[in-house]
Structure 1
Amino acid sequence: MNEKIREFLNLHYNGEAVETLELLSGGGSSRKYYRFYNSDQSFILTESENVAENQTFIYFTEHFSKVIENLPEIFQVSDDFTLYVQSDFGNRTLLDVVLKSPDEAKVLYEKSIRQLARMQILGDENLDYSKSFSYPKFNSTLVLRDLFSFKNYFLNLLGIEFNQGKLIQDFEKFAYDFERIPEQYFVYRDFQSRNIMVHENEPYFIDYQGGLKGPVQYDLVSILWQAKTDLSEIWKEECYEIYVKKFIDLTRQDLDGIQFRKGYDLCVLERLLQVLGTYGFRGIYEGKKHFVESIGFGLKNLEKIKNYSVLENYPELKKIIIKLTETSTLQTIKQIIDERQIKH
């Protein structure tokens, strides 16, 4: 424990806080999380040198807590914004639940989706997007970044053959179409079951500091198409209908169902390719076990969309997706990983 943390805890809590401080296993970021106890109540201490990101999280938490209750409470913040104390929701995520008890998870998914809609639509009002951490808007620039990450860290590492000129044309058209999806509100950006804690049978959202303005369907896609959960098509459709009903209730506007579904399908394609780009970089390139293990699930999702009508607008990309669903692709991945001598 560094002296800065010790002084911070001693300033705001009793001696039990320092004595019980325990470093928790981290996620995919440079943030460090600690659990400590004070007067028989547990708390989470977050440590991060990324002040801008911390300030965004604190601002978003304060803002969205006005419209939903299932967010952490921020109790203390250091003067330099590198330390803050938030609610402790335990160690159980929605991912843990869905992998072990799908029936229990179904209710939690429905609750999460309804709360998501409230966060996106009601939370969009008076939200200062200039305080977003990275990008204020999910625009074509961000989409192209995701698509080129998929090309560079997945397709190129696998040695998949394609017409680069035609693929780039598809990327540009896709980014143009994506940016014009009509339903633009707050987007969590990484609304997946690892970022939903389950505490006392209720879902609580964490890690939303990457949020920005964008198509609401993206978050729905993120949770329903998460590779590892492998939700059934029936389950996805039920959740989709729940979300659409809640969206209409909250916006109090007529909804063009066909247009909304087209936006959803575009978000499916964007999310699946973005995820594979991440898996390629973290898994194939960096050799991280969790991401390597997830590649097969990601490719299984591509199998489900290879006949999507929306893909007809991007012919070279469709050819690549079909290629990636061939059984030889996984064999190629395994060979590349072996050659890189990845140690799990």
Structure 2
Amino acid sequence: MQQLVKLYQQWAGTEPAHIEQLAGAGSNRQYYRITAADGATVIGVVGTSREENHAFVYLDRHFVHHKLPVPAVLAVSDDEMRYLQTDLGSTSLFDAIRGGREAGGRYDLAEQTLLKRTIRALPDLQIRGANDLDWNQCYPQPVFDEDNVLFDLNYFKYDFLKLTGLDFHEMKLEASFRRFAKDLTSEPSASFMYRDFQARNVMLDAEGNPFFIDFQGGRKGPYYYDLASFLWQASARYSYKLRRELVAEYYNSLKQYVEVPSVRHFAGRLSLFVLFRTLQVLGAYGFRGLYERKQHFIDSIPMAMDNLRDLLSLSEDMLPYPYLREVLARLADMPRFAHREEPTRLRGDGYKTTEHNIYPAHPQDGPATFSKYDGKGPLVVRVYSFSYRKGIPEDPSGNGGGYVFDCRSTHNPGRYEPYKKLTGLDEPVIRFLEDDGEILDFLTHVYALADKHVERYVQRGFTSLMFCFGCTGGQHRSVYSAQHLAEHIHEKFGVEVRVYHREQGIEQTFSAKKKES
């Protein structure tokens, strides 16, 4: 706070008369309204990320230069952690249309006018704002690409879909995701993608004219994204008729800046981004609501599911991802969503994947796997025993390692004098461990995991898999476990297995069995 006051003093040449902290938004930035003795106000911002602040300041000055409706940055601290900007007042579009939102989407004419005015202004920022913009100044990256899409689709998969307990084929879903990502990024675009375009990030002046804020996450990308983000915001509950009118307003405004595609093409592309945004939103609601237990996000899940049902009513030509459609249709039909039960009833006890062959797929899904390691083969399994005191073994394949199992919960023969100089390869130690039985129960679970993993790797033609067993000294329990898993895998699958008892300096190779002709 003191440093923000110092920045104000340097800029204004006087002490502030009053400072008021404003309510926080979705980010970690803190906002303050600073009032001078004559009543003039500015907004002081304290950020937590220099890179994010730098991006905002650069974009803001660029937009101001192009005379776009944004606040003007007035002063920036040397470390770029604080800055001052013009005060746009206290009325956001989100606040101004509260009545229609609380009425379940029944917006009056005044609220509809504000929405249309805002959506008509968006292409001005997206198209004119992109002129001579240095995309390398954007944060955290300059361009919307396939990696962006896949990150958010996996966000949906891990933080929402898997929590529902819905059975799905992970590799086929991944294939749909990758094709979806290619389609979303296939159309060249040179516009500014706001990324977080929502009613909370639009401020209104006294005449109701929109000004845009919080665009620091923007980048080069397709203009459809922001339109989908704004009009299909779950809590807004815009009616079908109002959405159509707002899309038409946007389309007609866009034509003033660029050559636009046909209405049919535009509608088709927009539908893809609406689906993408819906899945993004569900992922966010799953994380913020189901993990962080924030009630606002929990309450929003049923509304997002309504948007999803609307999308699923579109033709397959509009959403050409058969397996993804199948999964989403089953998700939408789950009783807890069909009857709008509270999302707090979603289970967090895992998920199931199908046992079907991973390769067959619908022609429109594309290949079922995409790893650069697919089809190389044959598989080589490496199994290590080690002492935790000396660290976990490194993976020589460069893949980053695999399973690491901790044997220290089982009965340790090394505590008894007769076994201190022996290892897990010696008969007395083997008898001790097997008579005791704890190590056998332990390995039963290990075998179950290992068998599934080896089976899938053989199917996919992967070349390397690693298992490590650690105990206190890397002498008894870990050696026994590593040796027995190596023998088990070799016997069951016939692949090459290399076992390394690191602390004992022992290596052994079980050669791959020849396949019968």
The answer to whether TM tops 0.5 is yes
Check 1:15–1:338 CA distance in 2 against 1; reply closer, same or farther (3 A cut).
Answer: farther
Contact 2:298–2:344, Cα closer than 8 Å, also in 1: no
Deviation at 1:10, TM superposition (A): 2.7
Match of 2:341 among 321, 327, 331: 331
- Alpha carbons of structure 1 residues 231 and 216: separation in structure 2 relative to 1, 3 Å: same
Alpha-carbon distance in 2 for matches of 1:67, 1:239: 25
- 2:339 matches 1:320: no
Residue 249 of structure 1 aligns to a residue in which SS? coil
How many pairs were matched up? 336
Deviation at 1:95, TM superposition (A): 1.7
Query: Which structure is richer in relative contact order (CA contacts within 8 A, separation 6 or more)?
Result: 1
Q: Which of the residues 229, 237, 256 maps onto 1:249?
A: 256
Deviations 1:189-236 (A, max 9, x none): 011111111221121111111111111111111111111111111111
DSSP-derived class of the 1:22 partner: strand
Q: Partner amino acid for 1:90?
A: G
Candidates 29, 33, 45, aligned match of 1:31: 29
- What's the Cα RMSD here? 2.1
After TM superposition, give the deviation of residue 160 of structure 1 in Å.
2.1
Matched, 1:114 2:120: yes
Q: Give the distance between the partners of 1:206 and 1:249, measured in 2 at CA.
A: 23
Deviation at 1:337, TM superposition (A): 8.4
SS of 2:234 mapped into structure 1: coil
Aligned to 1:49: 48
Taking structure 1 as the reference length, the TM-score comes to: 0.91
After superposition, the Cα gap between the structure-2 partners of 1:203 and 1:149, relative to the gap in structure 1 and judged at 3 Å, is: same
Q: CA-to-partner distance for each residue in 1:43-70, whole Å, 9 max, x for gaps? A: 2110013111111111111112234442
Given the alignment of the two structures, is residue 228 of structure 1 paired with residue 235 of structure 2, yes or no?
yes
Return closer, same or farther for 1:221/1:215 CA change in 2, 3 Å cut-off.
same
- Could you give the per-residue CA deviations for residues 271-308 of structure 1, whole angstroms, max 9, x where no partner exists? 11111111111111111222122212111111211122
Question: What displacement does 1:171 show?
Answer: 0.1
CA–CA distance in 2 between the matches of 1:273 and 1:51? Answer: 30
Distance 1:4 1:16, change over 3 A: closer
Instruction: Give the deviation of 1:37 after TM superposition.
Output: 0.5
Overall identity of the aligned pairs, in %:
35
Q: Secondary structure at the match of 2:288?
A: helix
Task: Point out the structure with the larger helix share.
Answer: 1
What do residues 175-195 of structure 1 show as CA deviations (whole Å, max 9, x unaligned)? 011111344411100111111
Alignment of 1:44-123 (within 5 A): 44-101=43-100, 102=107, 103-123=109-129
Q: Does the 8 Å CA contact 1:94/1:105 hold for their aligned counterparts?
A: no
CA deviation after TM superposition for structure 1 residue 7, in Å:
2.2
**Correspondence for 2:130:** 124
Taking the aligned partners of 1:99 and 1:3, their CA distance within structure 2 comes to 36
The match for 1:237 among 211, 234, 244 is 244
Change in 2 beyond 3 A, CA 1:91/1:204: same
Cα shift at 1:311: 6.0
2:221 equivalent to 1:214: yes
The alignment status of 1:274 with 2:266, answered yes or no, reads: no
Indicate conservation of the 8 Å contact 1:89/1:199, yes or no. yes
* Distance in structure 1 (CA, Å) of the matches to 2:266 and 2:22: 41
The Cα shift of 1:331 comes to: 3.1
Among 163, 176, 200, the alignment partner of 2:182 is 176
Aligned partners of 1:185 and 1:216 also within 8 Å:
yes
Partner of 1:307: 313
Which stretches in structure 1 are left out of the alignment for 5+ residues? 340-344
Gaps of 5+ in 2: 101-106, 350-517
Note the C-alpha offset of 1:266.
Answer: 0.9
Alignment of 1:120-199 (within 5 A): 120-199=126-205
For each residue in 1:75-101, what CA deviation from the matched residue of structure 2 results, as whole angstroms up to 9, or x when unmatched?
A: 111111111111222332212222215
Residue identity opposite 2:94 in structure 1:
L
Local SS of the residue matching 1:146: helix
1:286 to 1:249, Cα distance in 2 relative to 1, 3 A? same
Mapped to 1, the partners of 2:328 and 2:252 lie a distance apart of 32
Contact 2:164 2:347 in 1 (8 A): no
SS of 1:85's equivalent in the other structure is: strand
- Matches of 1:85 and 1:312 in 2, distance apart? 45
Distance 2:7 2:272 in 1: 46
How far did residue 15 of structure 1 move? Answer: 5.5
233-242 or 8-17: bigger deviation: 8-17
Q: Match of 2:210?
A: 203
Q: Secondary structure at the match of 2:147?
A: helix
Give 1:9 shift: 2.6
Describe the SS at the equivalent of 1:331.
coil
The DSSP-based 3-state class of the residue aligned with 1:26 is coil
SS in 1 for 2:142: coil
